[in-house]
């Protein structure tokens, strides 16, 4: 029933939105569908060493260190909060090994996206292309629509989870501060009102500044959490092991390791330098992976199995959440866990709200009368600057009122459907994350990248990249292994999707 509800919520939106803009505006400014208007031609590719390569590359606009930081910052999100709950039964060692395997898979997928992105840049003679454009160029309209559906599904499912968990955290804070103890149902609306309202009322620069401060809070509280929790780690608790129990945690792990939405941005910022792109992807994703393993070590080494048994005996939720008990402890460690959780939720919530608002701005530009051209954006920025400085004229003031109505409509489209779903079933937090990882991430960043790379490399003479039956590519493959590697990557993701689908179907039938 829960997955059906999520699918129905997404279906209505994805049916009218065939294209996919930026995954998150705060991280992916060049991924929007308006990016082609700022394009410039790339030099013609020439053959060298058996593979054509661009003669010269795009001028780098960023540094390798900045690209690593971008990928690392994008990866650290609210998925980390679900890791201890999903890996508790498996134990530390199996979950750590599986996290490393998931990192290898997701970094390989990121390399495939980079390869397809650079080849598509050269084929279309643009300096920026979205994942949607990549899918459409390689897999056709059907591929683009699958990408769009997965994109909407991920955003709505995760926003449901963020509203539920963020609301619970706000209620906990109110109770800890001596305020009234609100019922759980009040959490999601309160969170949307405060967090969503702040994003709506703030300028883009204010949102950027606030998000940077929150991410600083994530790092600071994580360091404090490790420092406070490490002395309490029990080696016997870390020795627990159940390898079979780690399989259900894989969707959450891949969800926690997503950075792929910023890969096209990194390719552009590094001037299509493949060595730097590869280094940025591998190093930038490895840093959060080590953080996740350390996080699991501290949490799983601090909570005994008896706590799960006690929670089950008291009629708790179906999934035991070790963080819930730690936050309720009232000590310094529990307070840091609560602060870390709220900062992680807020940083992720901001990015996904803005990404979905951008999506709707493009998809509904006609019905809402939104001009998405660069000229219109520049005019709006000028009008907003005049308003801020107290020089608002009649046209700027009218424009501000007009765009306010549009903005409210877009935020309503982004926030109201997941809020309604969260209110309908307040127990959807882990289910929403599971479904986002299984039916969203593994499709959009697992199966599709392998399929795009396969089509680009081996698509045949009818492919737009082909020449005399052989592929004409701008760069050599960034991931070795040829067809075998691509087949294993797509097949592995499809296998997990099929297994999770079977288990859900069996549960419904039973």
Q: Please give, one letter per residue, the 3-state secondary structure of 14-53.
A: HHCCCCCCCCCCCCCCCCCCCHHHHCCCCCCEEEECCEEE
| This prediction's pTM | 0.76
Token pair listed for 488? 């294993």
3-state secondary structure 413-482: HHHHHHHHHHHHCCCCHHHHHHHHHHHHHHHHHHHHHHHHHHHHHHCCCCCCCEECCEECCCCCCCCCCH
Gap between the Cα atoms of 142 and 131, Å rounded: 14
- Rounded to whole angstroms, how far apart are CA atoms 509 and 341? 36
**H helical segments located in 23-128:** 64-75, 79-87, 92-124
Residues 136, 142, 147, 149, CA torsion sign? positive
Q: How far is 187 from 65, CA to CA, in rounded Å?
A: 39
Q: CB under 8 Å to 463, separation ≥6 — which residues?
A: 455, 456, 471
Q: What is the pLDDT of residue 18?
A: 39
Query: Rounded to whole angstroms, what are the CA distances from 183 to 167, 187, 416, 458?
Result: 10, 8, 20, 57
Q: How far is CA 453 from CA 135, 468, 510, in A?
A: 10, 19, 40
Alpha-carbon distance of 253 to 96, in angstroms, equals 10
Give residue limits of the domains in the chain.
Answer: 2-362+426-509
CB 222 within 8 A of CB 291: yes
Query: What pLDDT is stored for residue 316 in this prediction?
Result: 61
Query: Digits of tens for pLDDT over the chain (510 positions)?
Result: 444 444 444 444 444 343 333 333 333 333 332 333 333 333 334 443 333 444 344 677 778 888 888 888 888 877 888 899 999 999 999 999 999 999 999 999 999 999 998 888 766 655 566 777 788 888 888 888 888 888 889 889 989 999 999 999 999 888 877 767 788 889 999 999 999 999 999 887 888 788 888 888 888 999 999 999 888 898 999 998 899 889 889 999 999 999 888 888 788 888 888 889 999 999 999 999 999 999 999 999 988 888 777 777 666 666 788 888 788 777 888 889 889 989 989 988 888 888 788 778 777 766 666 655 444 444 545 544 444 343 344 444 444 444 788 888 889 999 999 999 999 988 888 888 888 888 889 999 999 999 999 998 887 544 444 444 444 566 778 888 889 999 999 999 999 889 888 887 877 776
Do 160 and 422 touch, CB atoms closer than 8 A? yes
Q: Which fold has domain 2-362+426-509?
A: Amino acid/polyamine transporter I (1.20.1740)
- pLDDT value of position 452: 92
């Amino acid at each position: 029933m829960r997955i059906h509800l999520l699918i129905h919520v997404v279906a209505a939106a994805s049916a009218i939105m065939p294209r996919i803009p930026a995954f998150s505006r705060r991280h992916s400014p060049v991924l929007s569908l308006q990016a082609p208007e700022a394009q410039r031609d790339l030099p013609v590719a020439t053959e060298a060493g058996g593979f054509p390569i661009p003669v010269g590359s795009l001028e780098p606009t960023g540094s390798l260190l900045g690209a690593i930081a971008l990928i690392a910052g994008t990866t650290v999100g609210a998925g980390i909060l679900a890791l201890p709950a999903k890996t508790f039964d498996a134990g530390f060692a199996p979950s750590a090994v599986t996290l490393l395997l998931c990192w290898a898979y997701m970094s390989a997928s990121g390399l495939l996206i980079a390869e397809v992105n650079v080849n598509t840049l050269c084929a279309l003679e643009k300096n920026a292309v979205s994942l949607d454009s990549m899918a459409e160029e390689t897999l056709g309209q059907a591929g683009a629509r699958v990408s769009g559906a997965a994109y909407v599904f991920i955003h709505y499912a995760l926003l449901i989870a963020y509203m539920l968990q963020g609301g619970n955290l706000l209620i906990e804070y109110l109770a800890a501060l001596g305020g009234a103890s609100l019922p759980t149902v009040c959490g999601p609306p309160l969170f949307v009102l405060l967090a969503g309202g702040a994003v709506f009322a703030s300028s883009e620069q204010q949102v950027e500044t606030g998000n940077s401060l929150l991410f600083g809070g994530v790092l600071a509280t994580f360091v404090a959490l490790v420092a406070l929790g490490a002395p309490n780690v029990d080696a016997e608790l870390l020795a627990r092991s159940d390898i079979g129990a780690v399989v259900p945690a894989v969707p959450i792990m891949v969800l926690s390791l997503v950075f792929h939405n910023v890969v096209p941005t990194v390719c552009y910022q590094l001037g299509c330098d493949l060595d730097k792109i590869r280094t940025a992807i591998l190093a930038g994703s490895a840093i959060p992976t080590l953080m996740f393993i350390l996080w699991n070590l501290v949490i799983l080494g601090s909570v005994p199995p008896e706590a799960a048994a006690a929670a089950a005996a008291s009629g708790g939720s179906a999934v035991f959440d070790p963080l819930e008990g730690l936050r309720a402890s009232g000590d310094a460690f529990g307070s840091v866990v609560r602060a870390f959780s709220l900062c992680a939720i807020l940083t992720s919530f901001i990015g996904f709200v803005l990404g979905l608002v951008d999506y709707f701005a493009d998809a509904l530009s006609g019905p809402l009368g939104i001009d998405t051209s660069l000229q219109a954006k520049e005019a709006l920025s000028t009008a907003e600057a005049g308003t801020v400085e107290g020089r608002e004229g009649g046209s700027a003031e009218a424009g501000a009122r007009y765009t306010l109505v549009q903005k409210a409509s877009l935020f309503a489209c982004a926030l109201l459907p997941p809020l309604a779903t969260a209110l309908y079933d307040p127990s959807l937090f882990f289910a929403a994350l599971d479904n986002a990882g299984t039916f969203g991430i593994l499709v959009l960043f697992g199966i599709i990248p392998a399929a795009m790379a396969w089509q680009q490399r081996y698509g045949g003479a009818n492919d737009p990249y082909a020449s005399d039956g052989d592929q004409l590519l701008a760069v050599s493959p960034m991931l070795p292994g040829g067809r075998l590697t691509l087949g294993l990557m797509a097949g592995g993701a499809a296998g997990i999707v099929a297994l999770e689908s079977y288990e859900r179907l069996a549960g419904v039938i039973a």
